[in-house]
């Protein structure tokens, strides 16, 4: 099974400042089609998770452009260019190459 490891497990950010969340997979998520099968989700308090990024770097419909995803080998990064209050919640990475496996989550709070 592919294991997903996120860091940090929590972070507190001042509004308007950037934030980065990291995810590492235990094996390559690179498909033969050239895409990395890695998604990012945000679970806001009291809500179901919502899709932010798919295939490593593609923003889902309606996701603000302050969210971006990048890849370096088996390391993946979610960047928020300017954190807003509505961004609080738990962020999860998920591999989609071999069914689905989630990371343990990163809790983002506002300072």
Partner 1 sequence: QVQLQQSGPGLVKTSQTLSLTCAISGDSVSSDSAAWNWIRQSPSRGLEWLGRTYYRSKWYNDYAVSVKSRITINPDTPKNQFSLQLNSVTPEDTAVYYCARSISDMGIDHWGQGALVTVSS
* Residues within the interface to partner 1 (CB under 8 A): 1, 35, 37, 39, 41, 48-51, 53-55, 58, 60-61, 92, 94, 96, 99-102, 104-105
CA distances from residue 15 to 39, 70, 82, 93, 95 in whole angstroms, order as listed: 24, 22, 7, 23, 29
48 or 72: CB nearest partner 1? 48
24 or 105: CB nearest partner 1? 105
Least distance from partner 1 to the Cβ atom of residue 59, Å: 11
Least distance from partner 1 to the Cβ atom of residue 104, Å: 5
61 or 72: CB nearest partner 1? 61
In this structure, the number of other CB atoms found within 10 A of the CB of residue 83 comes to 22
CA distance 48 to 51: 10
Is the Cα dihedral 3, 92, 41, 8 positive or negative? negative
């Amino acid at each position: 099974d592919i294991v997903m490891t996120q860091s940090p497990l929590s972070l507190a950010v001042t509004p308007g400042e950037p934030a980065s969340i990291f995810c590492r997979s235990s094996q390559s998520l690179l498909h033969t089609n050239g895409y990395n099968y890695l998604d990012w989700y945000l679970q806001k308090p009291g809500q179901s998770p919502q899709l932010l990024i798919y295939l490593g770097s593609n923003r889902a419909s309606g996701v603000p452009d302050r969210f971006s995803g990048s890849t370096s080998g088996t390391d993946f990064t979610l960047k928020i260019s300017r954190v807003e209050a509505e961004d609080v919640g738990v962020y999860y990475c998920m591999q989609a190459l071999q069914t689905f496996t989630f990371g343990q989550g990163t809790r983002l709070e506002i300072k």
